[in-house]
């Protein structure tokens, strides 16, 4: 293989470049990214960058030392076998890495609407979070909760509009999400409320009520950024479909990160996981596969969120569990686990209890069974359950 083209210069793209070099690939590598920035991490955007504690979050990597041709500000437009068409012309490849991530979903309406996906988004939004500003956050998921945290801290008047009956419902279910309700003290939280449109000066709710806002932030989820592949002869279904080696349906093409829907041996399901840990670790498998080596991506997915002064950590895949066990709340710290029918651990959610997360993730990886009676006692370490 002489020339590998990597489309998407986010974490997954740059880590794949590093993994290719780490595995001894000495051929040409071209890294194409539609943003004008060099690769950066996104988790700090809704945390340190939004709070004004950091200005950037660039990935610690040296593209020159890696011998990479980096094309910032260039977008891939389409793909046919062996050739990527970009906004700067065609580029031929022997191996291709699709790492184009995901794009935020926007709501209808002509009013100004912010999303938080890029460094530029974060800078723009940060400048608007000033004391007294009325901020409407649409969606009480991970991003919405973190934006609300930063806005409240900046002294804004915050309204959060959420269609479900509790925050974080889509991610962890209403029962656990409901446990974060006290954190919204001082925020006008509207649950079971749908937005009709984002208009000039605020948000029109279904039913007609108008919520006035100087700043509207939409955090209702993302879609895999695969529109540029619409006419390509490649399997797409909720992202780029891959096998457990991250191999796509096109020869010599792998996909990785937020845009990839990979087959998980562990869960016997196709997963598309929009988490930093996936973008960090899947690239080594993608690089190995591209170089013809045998590697399987089969992680226990991991995610964290920092909101309202709390650290939430999640590991596993709870749709594989059919029983939710809550582990109590000593000193406001709590965790919960999902057990599969055979007593094995499917997932763990830990709030300010990092030990439960670390032990739980290991237990999930090992496939061990747990005793539900012991689990409910938060004083008993997970590893002893």
List residues near ligand FAD by CB under 6 A.
Answer: 7-13, 32-35, 42-43, 45-46, 75-76, 99-102, 116-117, 143, 225, 228, 257-258, 274-277, 279, 303-305
Minimum distance of ligand FAD from residue 132's CB (angstroms): 24
Tell the smallest beta-carbon distance from residue 32 to ligand FAD (Å).
Answer: 5
Return the structure tokens found at 49.
Answer: 């960058």
Sign of CA dihedral 358, 359, 360, 361: positive
The set of residues, in sequence order, having a beta carbon less than 8 Å from that of 236 and lying 6+ positions away, is: 226, 229, 230
**Residue number with CB closer to ligand FAD (219 or 321):** 219
Q: CB of 371: closest distance to ligand FAD in angstroms? A: 30
Which residue, 93 or 228, is less far from ligand FAD as judged by CB?
228
Query: Given the complex with ligand FAD, which of 312 and 385 has the nearer CB atom?
Result: 312
- 290 or 385: whose CB is closer to ligand FAD? 290
Q: How far is the CB of 304 from ligand FAD (least distance, A)?
A: 5
Asked if 240 contacts 260 with a C-beta cutoff of 8 angstroms, the reply is yes
CA distances for 117 relative to 55, 80, 185, 357, angstroms: 15, 28, 26, 27
Q: Which lies closer to ligand FAD via its Cβ, residue 307 or residue 335?
A: 307
Separation between Cα atoms, residue 128 and residue 216, nearest integer Å: 10
Can you say whether residue 19 is alpha, beta or left, with left for phi > 0 and alpha for psi between -120 and 50 degrees? alpha
Q: How far is the CB of 341 from ligand FAD (least distance, A)?
A: 28
Nearest residue (CB) to ligand FAD, 217 versus 339 = 217
Q: Which residue's CB is nearer to ligand FAD, number 279 or number 349?
A: 279
Q: How far is the CB of 128 from ligand FAD (least distance, A)?
A: 16
Q: How far is the CB of 208 from ligand FAD (least distance, A)?
A: 32
The pair of three-digit structure tokens given for residue 208, joined into one six-digit string: 């007609």
Give the per-residue SS3 of 28-85: EEEEEECCCCCCECCHHHHCHHHHCCCCCCECCCCCCCCCEEEEECCCEEEEECCEEE
Query: From the CB of 41, what's the least distance to ligand FAD, in Å?
Result: 7
Give dist(CA 75, CA 86) in Å, integer: 5
What 8-state DSSP symbol labels residue 183?
G
Instruction: Indicate the residue among 74 and 325 with the shorter CB distance to ligand FAD.
Output: 74
Q: How far apart are CA 174 and CA 152, in angstroms?
A: 23
Cα atoms found within 13 Å of the Cα of residue 265, Cβ hemisphere only: 10
Phi, psi torsion values for 58, nearest 5 degrees? -60, 140
């Amino acid at each position: 293989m002489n020339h590998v083209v990597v489309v998407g210069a986010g974490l997954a793209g740059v880590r794949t470049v590093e993994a290719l070099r780490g595995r001894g690939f000495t051929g040409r590598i071209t890294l194409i990214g539609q943003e004008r920035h060099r690769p950066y991490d996104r988790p700090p955007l809704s945390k340190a960058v939004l709070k004004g504690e950091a200005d950037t979050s660039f990935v610690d990597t040296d593209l020159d030392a890696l011998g990479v041709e980096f094309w910032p500000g260039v977008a891939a437009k389409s793909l046919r076998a062996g050739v990527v068409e970009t906004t700067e012309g065609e580029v031929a490849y022997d191996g291709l890495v699709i790492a184009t991530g995901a794009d935020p979903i926007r709501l209808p309406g002509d009013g100004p609407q912010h999303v938080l996906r890029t460094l530029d988004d974060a800078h723009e939004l940060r400048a608007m979070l000033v004391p007294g500003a009325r901020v409407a956050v649409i969606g009480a998921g991970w991003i919405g909760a973190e934006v609300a945290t930063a806005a409240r801290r900046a002294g804004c008047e915050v309204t959060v509009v959420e269609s479900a009956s509790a925050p974080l419902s889509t991610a962890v279910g209403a029962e656990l999400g409901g446990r974060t309700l006290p954190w919204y003290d001082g925020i006008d939280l509207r649950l079971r409320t749908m937005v009709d449109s984002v208009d000039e000066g605020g948000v029109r709710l279904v039913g007609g009520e108008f919520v006035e806002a100087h700043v509207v932030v939409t955090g209702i989820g993302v879609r895999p950024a695969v529109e540029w592949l619409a006419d390509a002869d490649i399997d797409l279904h909720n992202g780029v479909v891959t096998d457990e080696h991250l191999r796509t349906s096109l020869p010599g093409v792998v996909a990785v990160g937020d845009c990839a829907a990979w087959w998980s041996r562990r869960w016997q399901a196709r997963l598309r996981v929009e988490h930093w840990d996936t973008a960090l670790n899947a690239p080594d498998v993608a690089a190995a596969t591209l170089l013809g080596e045998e590697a399987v991506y089969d992680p226990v997915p991991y995610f964290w969120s920092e909101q309202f002064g709390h650290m939430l950590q999640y590991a596993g895949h709870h749709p594989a569990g059919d029983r939710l066990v809550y582990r109590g709340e000593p000193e406001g710290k709590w965790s919960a686990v999902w057990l599969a029918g055979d007593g094995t651990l499917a997932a763990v959610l830990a709030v300010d209890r990092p030990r439960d997360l670390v032990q739980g993730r290991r237990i999930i990886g090992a496939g061990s069974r747990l005793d539900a009676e012991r689990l409910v006692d938060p004083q008993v370490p997970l590893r002893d359950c």
